[in-house]
Amino acid sequence: MEKREQMYEGKAKKVFATDNENYCIVSYKDDATAFNGLKKGTIAGKGVVNNRMSNYLMQLLEKQGIPTHFVEELNDRETVVKKVKIVPLEVIVRNTAAGSFSKRFGVAEGTKLLCPTLEFCYKDDDLGDPMVNDYHIIACGWATKEDLDTITDYTFKINSFLVDFFKKINVDLIDFKIEFGKTSDGQIILADEISPDTCRFWDATTHEKLDKDRFRRDMGSVEEAYQEMMKRIFG
């Protein structure tokens, strides 16, 4: 696979074209942002953790019947992925109240929810990624009813699998955000990343935060938290 021109640079990743029109190469950076880009910083080694963790989880999810964008890990920071058109939705699953859920609904952080919840946010930085419902999504054409049903079905399966996976390494999966894309032949697949940038991980015993909230909230030991997650997954 030959790496060609840079197609896009986001907050935490760069995307390059390849000599195969169906594939791109993602390169994970150590740059971190929060609060819609207002807070900026660097988390040393984050790109490596996010690349390796994300790839590992996507391969496990594939075995569970979830199609993903993963193709091949090239090195610590770079991965070949299937080229997709991103469905412009942040798909958020919550098992325990935290973050914006706690703020919006006045439910204390750490309150276990009676069942997993699903939220969609329309991906638009200028609008601050507003929360939307199924009707908004279908009415505005961000996804069809059929695609939304597929996304919903995959998302709850992904949550069940991930909750069990992290439980085994003594981590509670509090909530997470995923994104889906559509391939040129119309298949909905899991895209983007699953990492401490996009999930809330709490140690199941001490409830210590092992994710990007340490950066967002200036809690210190940010690098250490990412490395701890890496160590628990890969030993």
Binding site for ligand UDP (CB under 6 A): 90, 92, 98-101, 129, 175-177, 198-200, 212
> Of 18 and 50, which has the nearer Cβ to ligand UDP?
50
> Of 147 and 192, which has the nearer Cβ to ligand UDP?
192
Report, in Å, the least distance between residue 58 CB and ligand UDP. Answer: 16
Give the chain's radius of gyration (CA, Å).
17
| CA angle (120, 125, 129) in 5-degree steps | 20
Q: How far apart are CA 87 and CA 151, in angstroms?
A: 10
- What strands, in cross-sheet order, belong to the sheet with 3-9? 3-9, 13-18, 23-28, 78-82, 70-73
Report, in Å, the least distance between residue 11 CB and ligand UDP. Answer: 9
> Of 3 and 216, which has the nearer Cβ to ligand UDP?
216
Report, in Å, the least distance between residue 122 CB and ligand UDP. Answer: 12
Report, in Å, the least distance between residue 220 CB and ligand UDP. Answer: 18
Instruction: Give the residue at shortest CB distance from ligand UDP.
Output: 99
Say if CB 197 and CB 32 are below 8 A apart: yes
Q: How far apart are CA 168 and CA 69, in angstroms?
A: 25
> Of 18 and 229, which has the nearer Cβ to ligand UDP?
229
